[in-house]
Amino acid sequence: MFFDVHCHLQDTRYGSTVSSVVSRAHKSGVRYMVCCATAPNDWNAVLTLAQKYPSIIPAIGVHPWFIDTIPADWEEQLDELVQKERVGIGECGLDFAITHYDRKKQEHVFRRQLYMAKKYNRPVNMHCRKAWEPFVAILKEIAPFPAGALVHSYSGSPAFVKPLEQLGISISFSGSLTRPNAKKGPLALKECAQHSILLETDSPDILPSGIEEKPPLNEPAHITYIAQRMADLLDCSLEEVASLTYNNAQQLFKGLL
């Protein structure tokens, strides 16, 4: 069995095909999928999917790409939903690759969501791109996270793996691990302790290499490609990767299952 710890099945690019996407995921052995919202305008869509499909675990939050679109009372709205629903927090985090986004506002919105995760004992699904030092600094400032947390689609240096693990943060790998020119991902994976390794697709993005799709949308069923690449890098079997990552994810999300 597989556990996709980060995807976006509410994405409008799927249109009316979500039921088929979920069905193919199940046929590929995917037992659970964590569906992450990105802003208030898709929180309800994620919650609706989770109500319809028992295999979908919802997470709601504000992604750094959308901080300029959120209403003034976003935190109150999020707090109310988190109290009412069985959800994780996220996708949230920092992204300094897009230079015109306000870094201070990103940090503020990220901090508020981390504090909310601590307050309500919920796991956190986090994004980080080209902001690793401030990201780790904020996590150190607010840790510990009683319900756990993960960094999705890890793109950082192998040097940040141990500092994150020391804070109880899990490391998730996506289709970028399968790219022929991938360097940091494979090195980072080999730095990870076994208990912190997770698998994801980040669907509908980051299509694994070797898949010919038209249109080129990723989906949770493709997690097997990532798992096989992980098995090759770790010199173990696909079954061992499936078992390891499933058990790690089950431990992290046990409060939401």
> How many domains would you assign to the chain?
1
* pLDDT, position 137: 98
Cis peptide before 204 (omega within 30 of 0): yes
Report the alpha-carbon distance of residue 189 to residue 158 in Å, rounded.
8
3-state SS, residue 87: coil
CATH number assigned to the domain comprising residue 11: 3.20.20.140
Spell 222-247 as b/e; 16+ CB within 10 A means b. bbbbbbbbbbebbeeeeeebbebbbe
Q: Is the whole-model pTM more than 0.75? A: yes
Which is higher by pLDDT, 214 or 40? 40
Report the alpha-carbon distance of residue 103 to residue 100 in Å, rounded.
9
Is residue 253 within 8 Å of 88, Cβ to Cβ?
yes
Q: What pLDDT, in 10s, does the model give residues 180-223?
A: 999 999 999 999 999 999 999 999 999 999 887 677 899 999 99
What number is the average pLDDT over the span 142-164? 97
Q: Inform me whether the pLDDT recorded for 99 exceeds 90.
A: no
Burial class (CB in 10 A: 0-12, 13-18, 19+), 54: exposed
Q: What pLDDT, in 10s, does the model give residues 155-176?
A: 999 999 999 999 999 999 999 9
Give the domain extent around 231: 2-256
